C-alpha cells in the first residue's frame, strides 16, 4: 500500500516516467471526444437550470478523466453502478444527448417517466443501473450483481462509483467487506474530489488515503492521479482484468477535483477559496489530455473548435426535442407498479381521471422544484 499516485501524463501534458497503456489512435480520440462532449453537456445543463428550464443539475466538470477513463476499461456487457457525477459513461456507451435531456426534463419520453430527479439516469439497455441520491446505495448493488454473475459463471465485471463522502456510508463497509470475503468480481471507484458537498476530506476520514482503506478488506488499493485519463485507464484495466480472472475486487482512489459547485443548489464560494480554484483549474484534465494528444500527433489544435461546434449543435437539437414533449401522462402514475394493474390501482386511476375531467386537479406540473 502506497500513498504515491500513479501518473502517466504530467500536468503540462508531457509523458511521465510511467509507460502509457496501449491504446490506438482511434481509442485515444474517442476518449477525448467523450470528455469534451461531457464538458459541453455539463455547461449547457447548468445554464438550463439557471434559466428555469430544468429543475436541478449536477456537474462533473473537472472529473471527466476519472469516470470516462475508468469506464473505458470495461466491456459492453459489464455492468456500471454509477453515481450522479458520471454522465460521460453514458455517452461512452452510446446514450444520446436527447435521451439524457428527456430525463432531465422529466417529459413523456423520459424513460424513467418523470419519477427521478434530473441527472439521475437509468439505462438498462447499456447496463447502467439507476442512479439514486442516497449516498452509497449503488455500492452494495454492484457487489450483489457481481456476486450473482460469479454464481452463474457469467464472466462480467461490475464497476461502482462513489465520492470520498461515500466511504463514510454503511454501504461502503458492507459492500467492501462482502466483496473481499467472497472475491466478488467488482471494481470500486472512489472519485476523491476533495469535498463531500462542503465537508473536506480531512473532515471525512483519519485514513492516510482512501486507497489505504482497501487493506482492511483484503483487497488491493491503488491511488491514481484522477485528472490523468491514461493513468486512470491503466489502473482500471488492471483491476477489471484481475476481477474477470477470478482474483477478486480492487479499490481505486482517483484523486481529482470538482471544478464547480456540488450541485445547482450549492454555493461553493462559501467554503472554497479562489486560490484553490485557480490551482486546480491549471490541472484541468481536458486541457491536459489535449496537450498530450497534440504532442503525440493524435490531435490537431484546430480540431477542437470543429468538435465543439458539432457537439453544441447536437445539444441544441436535443434540447429543442426535449422541450417539445409534454409531461408524462397521468395514467403513467399507475404503471410499472405491478406487471399488470391491480383492481385497487384501477380504482385509483378511475378516481383521478374523473377528478381531472371535472377540473378539480390539473395535469400540468404544479409548484417549484423542491431543491
Residue-wise pLDDT for 326-346, tens only, equals 999 888 889 888 999 999 999
Q: Residue 366's pLDDT band (boundaries 50, 70, 90)? A: very low
Q: Which of 271, 295, 308, 341 is catalytic?
A: 271
Query: pLDDT tens for residues 27-54?
Result: 999 999 999 999 999 999 999 999 999 9
Domain span at residue 305? 25-324
The full DSSP string for 207-251 is: SS-SGGGGGGGTS-EEEEETT-HHHHHHHHHHHHHHHHTT---EE
Last residue of a domain, one of 287, 307, 324: 324
Query: pLDDT tens for residues 110-147?
Result: 999 999 999 999 999 999 999 999 999 999 999 999 99
CATH, residue 31: 3.40.50.970
Phi, psi at residue 324, to the nearest 5°? Answer: -80, -20
In a shared domain, residues 259 and 344: no
298: cell is 493524435
Q: How far is CA 100 from CA 19, 121, 248, in A?
A: 36, 7, 33
Query: pLDDT tens for residues 154-175?
Result: 999 999 999 999 999 999 999 9
Measured torsion, CA atoms of residues 147, 152, 154, 159, in degrees rounded to the nearest 10: -10
Distance CA 231, CA 39 (A): 20
16: in domain: no
In a shared domain, residues 192 and 255: yes
pLDDT number for residue 363: 55
338: in domain: yes
Distance CA 121, CA 105 (A): 12
358: in domain: yes
In a shared domain, residues 122 and 255: yes
**Known active-site residue 173:** no
Distance CA 135, CA 191 (A): 13
In a shared domain, residues 293 and 367: no
Q: Residue 356's pLDDT band (boundaries 50, 70, 90)? A: confident
Q: Using the structure block, give the residue that is written with the C-alpha cell 475508468.
A: 70
Distance CA 172, CA 142 (A): 11
Task: Please tell me the pTM assigned to this model.
Answer: 0.94
**Known active-site residue 262:** yes
pLDDT at 370 > cutoff 70? no
Q: Which of 262, 272, 288, 290 is catalytic?
A: 262
pLDDT number for residue 360: 77
In a shared domain, residues 67 and 157: yes
In a shared domain, residues 316 and 340: no
In 20-85, alpha helices (H): 25-50, 64-71
In a shared domain, residues 310 and 370: no
pLDDT number for residue 362: 65
Q: Residue 2's pLDDT band (boundaries 50, 70, 90)? A: low
pLDDT at 358 > cutoff 90? no
Distance CA 181, CA 116 (A): 34
Total domains in the chain come to 2
In a shared domain, residues 344 and 311: no
- Residue range 1-26: average pLDDT? 89
55: in domain: yes
2: in domain: no
Least confident of 178-192, 256-270, 353-367: 353-367
- Residue range 21-32: average pLDDT? 97
Q: What percentage of the chain reaches a pLDDT higher than 70?
A: 97
Q: Residue 359's pLDDT band (boundaries 50, 70, 90)? A: confident
pLDDT number for residue 145: 98
pLDDT number for residue 3: 75
pLDDT number for residue 17: 82
In a shared domain, residues 84 and 186: yes
Q: Which of 113, 223, 258, 288 is catalytic?
A: 258
The kind and range of the H/E element at 195 are strand 195-196
**Known active-site residue 271:** yes
pLDDT at 193 > cutoff 90? yes
- Residue range 85-112: average pLDDT? 97
- Which residues, listed in sequence order, are joined to residue 253 by a DSSP beta bridge? 190, 223
In a shared domain, residues 186 and 311: yes
Chain-wide mean pLDDT for the chain? 94
- Residue range 4-20: average pLDDT? 91
Amino acid at each position: 500500500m502506497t500513498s504515491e499516485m500513479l501518473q502517466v501524463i504530467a500536468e503540462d501534458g508531457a509523458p511521465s516516467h510511467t509507460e502509457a497503456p496501449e491504446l490506438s489512435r482511434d481509442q485515444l480520440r474517442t476518449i477525448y471526444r467523450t470528455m469534451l462532449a461531457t464538458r459541453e453537456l455539463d455547461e449547457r445543463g447548468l445554464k438550463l437550470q439557471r434559466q428555469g428550464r430544468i429543475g436541478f443539475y449536477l456537474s462533473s466538470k473537472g472529473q471527466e478523466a476519472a469516470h470516462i477513463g475508468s469506464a473505458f476499461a470495461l466491456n459492453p456487457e459489464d455492468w456500471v453502478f454509477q453515481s450522479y457525477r458520471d454522465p460521460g459513461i453514458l455517452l461512452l456507451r452510446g446514450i444520446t444527448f436527447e435521451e439524457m435531456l428527456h430525463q432531465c426534463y422529466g417529459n413523456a419520453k423520459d424513460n424513467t417517466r418523470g419519477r427521478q430527479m434530473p441527472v439521475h439516469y437509468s439505462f438498462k439497455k447499456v447496463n447502467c443501473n439507476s442512479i439514486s441520491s442516497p449516498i452509497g446505495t449503488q455500492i452494495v448493488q454492484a457487489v450483489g450483481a457481481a456476486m450473482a454473475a460469479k454464481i452463474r459463471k457469467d464472466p462480467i465485471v461490475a464497476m461502482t462509483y462513489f465520492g470520498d463522502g461515500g466511504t463514510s456510508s454503511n454501504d461502503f463497509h458492507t459492500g467492501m467487506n462482502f466483496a473481499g470475503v467472497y472475491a466478488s468480481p467488482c471494481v470500486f471507484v472512489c472519485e476523491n474530489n476533495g469535498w463531500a458537498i462542503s465537508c473536506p476530506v480531512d473532515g471525512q476520514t483519519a485514513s492516510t488515503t482512501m486507497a489505504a482503506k482497501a487493506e482492511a478488506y483484503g483487497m488491493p488499493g491503488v491511488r491514481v492521479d484522477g485528472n490523468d485519463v491514461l493513468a486512470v485507464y491503466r489502473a482500471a484495466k488492471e483491476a477489471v482484468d484481475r476481477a474477470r480472472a477470478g482474483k477478486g475486487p480492487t479499490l481505486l482512489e482517483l484523486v481529482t477535483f470538482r471544478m464547480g459547485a456540488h450541485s445547482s443548489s450549492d454555493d461553493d464560494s462559501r467554503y472554497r477559496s479562489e486560490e484553490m480554484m485557480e490551482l486546480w483549474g491549471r490541472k484541468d484534465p481536458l486541457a491536459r489530455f489535449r496537450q498530450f494528444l497534440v504532442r503525440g500527433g493524435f490531435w490537431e489544435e484546430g480540431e477542437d473548435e470543429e468538435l465543439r461546434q458539432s457537439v453544441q449543435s447536437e445539444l441544441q437539437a436535443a434540447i429543442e426535442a426535449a422541450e417539445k414533449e409534454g409531461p408524462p401522462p397521468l395514467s403513467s402514475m399507475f404503471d410499472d407498479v405491478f406487471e399488470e394493474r391491480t383492481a385497487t390501482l384501477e380504482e385509483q386511476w378511475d378516481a383521478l381521471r374523473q377528478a381531472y375531467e371535472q377540473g378539480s386537479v390539473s395535469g400540468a406540473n404544479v409548484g417549484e422544484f423542491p431543491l
